[in-house]
Amino acid sequence: MKKTALITGASSGIGKATAEKFAREGLRLILCGRRQDRLDELSAELGKNTEVHCLNFDVRDKEAVFLAIGSLPPEFSRIDILVNNAGNAHGLDPIAEGSLEDWDAMLDINVKGLLYVTKAVLPQMTERKAGHILHIGSTAGKEVYPNGNVYCASKHAVDAINQGMRMDLNAYGIRVGAINPGLVETEFSKVRFKGDEERAGKVYQGYQPLLPEDIADILYFAVSRPPHVNIADLVVMPTAQASSTQVKKDL
Ligand code: NDP
Ligand code: 8X3
């Protein structure tokens, strides 16, 4: 039977590439994000291959999250796969200089938003005793780097939530896992540096970063394993990267 996947943050980067990969593989899709024009464009393209439904909500807004997911038409209301991908870094400042707005954004989106979406999707999974939840964590959830403070904290929280959720949903047979990428060239650094394209571009210069498609392929690998196989926690970096602070650059 055709599976349905809900992807948060489908309007760019890893989420968009995942939607494209899943569509090529014939999954039914629920695309989530705030930029409606991006969602419309992607939906029109992927709609040539599969059924697509778009939901526009800010993951920080818990009422909007529950309203949107509760409003799904019957053909999309059985969600087999949830990809908790929406998130970003905001700023890269020493703790004494960090902005409260940036800290709120990272904790509210990357941690609380992920929880709200999961809470809204879970009841039909626990009822059916089936489902698959994949979190996009980060190497920042495995190690802390200078000035990464709150972003790293948010991704360490995702790591803890991934482990806790796997334990709590074990009795239901629901698969829970995380893919933790290192440096992937997306709009991530543009958002982190508040639109400064030059500074963002430098993050990916002098080496081959991961592409969002590399992560999409891994996510599809995870969801296409037989039911007894759960990719619980996977770290993936560009070959040029050895840790958050060690990247071999040819500059
Ligand atoms: P992008 O900036 O390209 O994509 C981020 C996505 O998240 C967008 O689709 C955006 O959609 C969505 N999003 C952001 N804030 C909100 C919000 N408040 N409500 C709803 N959706 C939101 O970056 P990436 O693709 O790189 O990031 C995806 C995930 O991957 C994030 O969790 C990030 O932390 C993680 N990651 C990224 C790495 C990298 O190097 N790029 C490495 C490791 C992890 P919209 O603006 O339309 O709402
Ligand atoms: C994104 C990768 O190294 O900027 O999570 O934290 S990094």
Ligand 1 center–CA 143 separation, angstroms: 19
- The count of other CB atoms within 10 Å of the CB of residue 39 is 22
Q: Select from 20, 21, 34 the residue to mutate for testing ligand 1; criterion: most ligand atoms less than 8 Å from CB.
A: 34
- The count of other CB atoms within 10 Å of the CB of residue 53 is 20
Q: How many domains are there within the chain?
A: 1
- Indicate the pTM of the whole model: 0.98
Q: Mind giving me the DSSP string for the chain?
A: ---EEEESSTTSHHHHHHHHHHHHTT-EEEEEES-HHHHHHHHHHHTTTS-EEEEE--TT-HHHHHHHHHT--GGG-S--EEEE----------GGG--HHHHHHHIIIIIIIHHHHHHHHHHHHHHHT--EEEEE--GGGTS--TT-HHHHHHHHHHHHHHHHHHHHTGGGT-EEEEEEES-B-SSHHHHHTTT-HHHHHHHTTTS-PBPHHHHHHHHHHHHTS-TT----EEEE--TTEEETTEE----
Q: Is the pLDDT of residue 112 over 90?
A: yes
Question: Can you give the CATH number for the domain in which 51 is found?
Answer: 3.40.50.720
**Nearest ligand to the C-alpha of residue 140?**
2
Structural domain harbouring 72: 4-247
Q: Is the pLDDT of residue 251 over 80?
A: no
Which residue is closest in CA terms to ligand 2's atom 6?
140
Q: Which residues are catalytic?
A: 151
Which residues have a Cβ under 8 Å from the Cβ of 206 and sit 6 or more positions away? 249, 250, 251
Q: Is the pLDDT of residue 160 over 80?
A: yes
- Nearest ligand 2 atom, CA 189: 4
The proportion of the chain whose per-residue pLDDT surpasses 90, expressed as a percent, equals 99
* pLDDT confidence tier of residue 128, bands split at 50, 70 and 90: very high
Each residue's pLDDT tens digit, 48-95: 999 999 999 999 999 999 999 999 999 999 999 999 999 999 999 999
ipTM associated with this complex: 0.99
Rounded to whole angstroms, how far apart are CA atoms 193 and 197? 8
> Do 40 and 13 meet the contact criterion of CB atoms below 8 Å apart?
no
Q: Is the pLDDT of residue 39 over 80?
A: yes
- Position 1 scores a pLDDT of 85
